[in-house]
């Protein structure tokens, strides 16, 4: 074995080591994403999940609607907060997604409307998580987690209903021509 060096000096060995490092890096990134996902689900920052916060907000919105006969203004998170806090919602942190620290996004299309005019609409939503799921508060007061497909259906523009058919009046047919 004289004259031969032990070790890897070939390109193949270096490429192999690089591949191993890249795989390890990919596993680390996946693990970090999984940990972030778990924190999102648990509401790591304030101990409250998005669903818990939205349930409290639902009660505040119901109280607002009872007093004002319409939904609160939802033009922006700030406008909604000013309408609800402190009269209907003593803890403004309930308007924040505890996992992300971001305010829930309100639906401006229902701002100030009566709830029976928009019964199936959403009121507030959290940001989408890594898997595309988000927690949504509906005008009905129900809180649910929806996937990206259902979210797209909720936010798709509503097509207007076709105009009702106008009843036709019978018109006499033209007289037949003589042959």
- If 0-12 CB within 10 Å is exposed, 13-18 middle and 19+ buried, where does residue 46 land? middle
In the chain, where the domains are located = 47-155
State the CB neighbour count (10 A cutoff) for residue 79. Answer: 15
Going by pLDDT thresholds of 50, 70 and 90, the confidence category of residue 44 is: very low
Q: What is the percentage of the chain residues whose pLDDT exceeds 70?
A: 64
Digit-coded pLDDT (tens) for 107-146? 999 999 999 999 899 999 999 988 999 999 999 999 999 9
pLDDT beyond 70 at 170: no
Question: Across residues 43-58, what is the average pLDDT?
Answer: 81
| C-alpha to C-alpha distance for 83 and 74, rounded to whole angstroms | 9
| Peptide bond preceding 147 in cis form (omega within 30 of 0) | no
pTM: 0.65
Going by pLDDT thresholds of 50, 70 and 90, the confidence category of residue 156 is: confident
Rg for the chain, CA atoms, rounded: 29
Tell me how many helices (H) and strands (E) the chain has. Answer: 4, 4
Residues pairing with 103 in the sheet: 96
Place of tokens 């996004």: 105
């Amino acid at each position: 074995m004289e004259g031969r060096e032990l070790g890897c000096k070939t390109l193949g060995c270096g490429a192999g080591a690089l591949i191993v490092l890249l795989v390890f890096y990919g596993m680390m990134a996946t693990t970090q994403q999984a940990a972030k996902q778990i924190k999102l689900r648990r509401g790591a920052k304030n101990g409250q999940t998005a669903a818990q916060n939205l349930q409290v907000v639902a009660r505040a919105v119901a109280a607002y609607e009872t007093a004002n006969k319409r939904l609160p203004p939802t033009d922006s998170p700030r406008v909604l907060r000013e309408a609800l806090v402190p009269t209907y919602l003593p803890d403004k942190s309930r308007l924040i997604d505890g996992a992300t620290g971001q305010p829930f996004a309100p639906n401006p299309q229902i701002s100030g409307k009566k709830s029976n005019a928009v019964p199936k609409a959403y009121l507030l939503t959290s940001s989408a998580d890594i898997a595309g799921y988000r927690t949504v508060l509906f005008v009905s007061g129900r809180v649910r987690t929806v996937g990206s497909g259902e979210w797209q259906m909720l936010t798709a523009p509503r097509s207007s209903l076709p105009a009702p058919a106008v009843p036709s009046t019978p018109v006499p047919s033209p007289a037949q021509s003589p042959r």
